[in-house]
Amino acid sequence: MFLITVNQILVPILVLAITGFIFGVLIAILSKVFYVEVDNRVETVTEMLPGYNCGACGKPGCSAMANAIVNEGVPVSNCKPIKQDQAELIREFLRKQEETANS
């Protein structure tokens, strides 16, 4: 009455395995096609900012502010809660990056 044939077990397993393989390949291809290059300077400056994501700088968060500092020349002092030594480290980092780019 409750007999399950081998096909009733193998077919769903096979369908799931093939579907998983197809989507795996598709994801691998799409990750190459839509690869977005990350600016390491923005990542570094983001880590050097306080990380409060308070928005006091007028940006939606610290990573947006880091992007503005690196790519738009927004002054580090726009970040209100940053300490002077932190701000100076960021300025020094950006100075070194610019010197490296110019040499």
Answer yes or no whether residue 57 interacts with ligand SF4 by CB under 6 A.
yes
Closest CB 32 distance from ligand SF4, rounded Å: 33
Question: How far, in Å, are 3, 14, 93 from residue 6 at the CA level?
Answer: 10, 12, 65
Q: Which of 9, 25, 81, 83 contacts ligand SF4 by CB under 6 A?
A: 81
Amino acid at position 14, single letter: L
Contacts of 41 (CB under 8 A, 6+ apart): 70, 93, 94, 97
Answer yes or no whether residue 52 interacts with ligand SF4 by CB under 6 A.
yes
Task: Summarize as ranges the residues that interact with ligand SF4 (CB under 6 A).
Answer: 49-50, 52-57, 59, 61-62, 65, 79-82
